Copies of this chain bind each other. A is one copy, B any other.
Amino acid sequence: MNKPEVPDFLRNIRIVLARPSHPGNIGSAARAMKTMGLSQLWLVSPKQFPSAEADTLASGAVDLLQSAHVVETLGEALSGVTVAAAMTSRRRELTAPLAVPRELAPELVARAEGGEQVALVFGNETFGLSIEEVELCNRLVTIPGNPAYFSLNLAMAVQVMTYELFSHVGLGVEHLKSEGLAATSDEVEGFCGHLEQTMAHIGYFERRNSERLMRRMRTLFNRAGLLREEIDILRGFCKQVMRAADGHVPPDKS
């Protein structure tokens, strides 16, 4: 199977970093974004940019840094945006309702797919987003976690959010899966029949409840999610058991 390509509409999702202090975080955020198929990085008054440290940490995503939009204010970064989601981990009063990423992601992806520009807005590493910055946004998102210890680095937060978005894009991991290997139920049933014959042939059912035993075996092999090649091995083994029981045992070469 060929590698699928990420859909073009992901260009409609921008990651906005407001006043980031550490250039390394900008680089790591770019890497996180590109890994999840995003490309549009906006930087609002970064303390230091461009920077060699950002380039190093971006690794193969340095192209996102080169095409990053650097602006003075969050308002400029949200130009043309219909839905701007402010990332926060603080309790805030009287603004938009607070959503977890999984609640919001389907809407953001659907809007981007429909041609709207959407933004995820991340605040400064130490201070988060200011009240004024949050007020420019129309969604509030918080990543759930351990209430007693919540320490999510800026780039980690970008990774989690972009992972969550990507998981709603519908681009699975089919290209990584082995193809056509799972056995069908008739193949599993065929093997179970073969196993039953074999067990009968070698006298395994004597003084045992064959029906009950086979029911357990069927349950086991149905649950196991047998692959076709595994069935070939097991049936080959059954055949050899019967031959051996009939006296046809080849010399042991082990």
Binary CB contact string for chain A from 130 to 166 against chain B (1 if under 8 A, 0 otherwise): 0000000000001111111111110110011001001
- Contact among B28, B37, B98, B150 for A146, CB-based, below 8 A: B37
Residues of B within 8 A of A3 (CB): 147-148
What number of copies of this chain does the assembly contain? Answer: 2
Does any Cβ of B come within 8 Å of A45's Cβ? no
A148 and B7 CA atoms in complex are apart in Å by 12
Residues of B within 8 A of A150 (CB): 35
Closest residue on chain B to residue A176 by CB atoms: B91
**Interface residues in A, total, Cβ within 8 A:** 57
Residues of B within 8 A of A35 (CB): 145-146, 149-152
Residues of B within 8 A of A142 (CB): 173, 176
Binds B, one of A46-54, A67-75, A79-87, A177-185: A177-185
Residues of B within 8 A of A166 (CB): 144-146
Q: Is the CB of A59 within 8 A of B151?
A: yes
Residues of B within 8 A of A182 (CB): 97
The answer to whether A167 and B60 touch (CB under 8 A), given A34-B151, A156-B159, A159-B156, is: no
A166 and B155 CA atoms in complex are apart in Å by 19
Q: Is the CB of A146 within 8 A of B34?
A: yes
A149 and B98 CA atoms in complex are apart in Å by 32
Given A91-B176, A97-B182, A144-B173, 17 other A-B contacts at CB below 8 A? A3-B147, A32-B156, A35-B150, A35-B151, A59-B151, A60-B149, A61-B151, A90-B176, A91-B175, A92-B178, A94-B227, A94-B230, A96-B225, A98-B176, A100-B167, A145-B163, A160-B163
- Residues on A lying within 8 angstroms of B by beta carbon are 3-6, 28, 31-32, 34-37, 59-61, 89-94, 96-98, 100, 102, 142-153, 155-156, 159-160, 163, 166-167, 171-173, 175-178, 181-182, 225, 227, 229-230
